Amino acid sequence: MSGLLRGDKTSCNNLLELKTHGGITGQDIEEIVEKAIDTARKNKPIKTILFFDEANTSDGIGVIKSVMCDRLLRGVPIPDDCGLKVSLSFITIFMSYSI
C-alpha cells in the first residue's frame, strides 16, 4: 500500500490489520493501537492505516468505538498529528445455494 501512496517502490509498513474475533480483548486492541501510533510517527508524512477486520465479533467493541469515534486510547486523546488513520469496513458475504 505504501508504494501506491508514495508513488515509488520504497517500502514502508503503513497498513496494520487487526483480525478481531471473540478471543480479542480490549487490552489486545489497545496494544495494537499503541503499535499503530508508533508506526505512524515513524512513517510520517505517509499516513498509516489501522484496519479492524470483523470488529463486531469482538468483546472489545467499546474500545474500538473509543478509538474510532472519540479518538481516545485509555481516555487519552490520540494525537492528531501522529499520522494515524483508523479504518473500519463492514463486509457482508453472500453464500449462494443451488437447488
* Cα 61 to the center of its chain, rounded Å: 13
Per-residue model confidence (pLDDT) at position 9: 54
Per-residue model confidence (pLDDT) at position 91: 44
Q: What is the DSSP letter of 83?
A: -
pLDDT in tens, 38-97: 998 888 888 888 888 888 778 888 998 899 889 999 999 998 888 888 765 444 444 555
7-11, 19-23, 32-36, 89-93: which is most confident? 32-36
Would residue 51 count as lying in a domain? yes
Domain that holds residue 16: 2-88
**pTM to 2 decimals?**
0.74
Would residue 77 count as lying in a domain? yes
70 Cβ partners below 8 Å, 6+ apart? none
Per-residue model confidence (pLDDT) at position 10: 61
Would residue 95 count as lying in a domain? no
- Which grid coordinates are listed for 79? 494525537
Q: How many domains are there within the chain?
A: 1
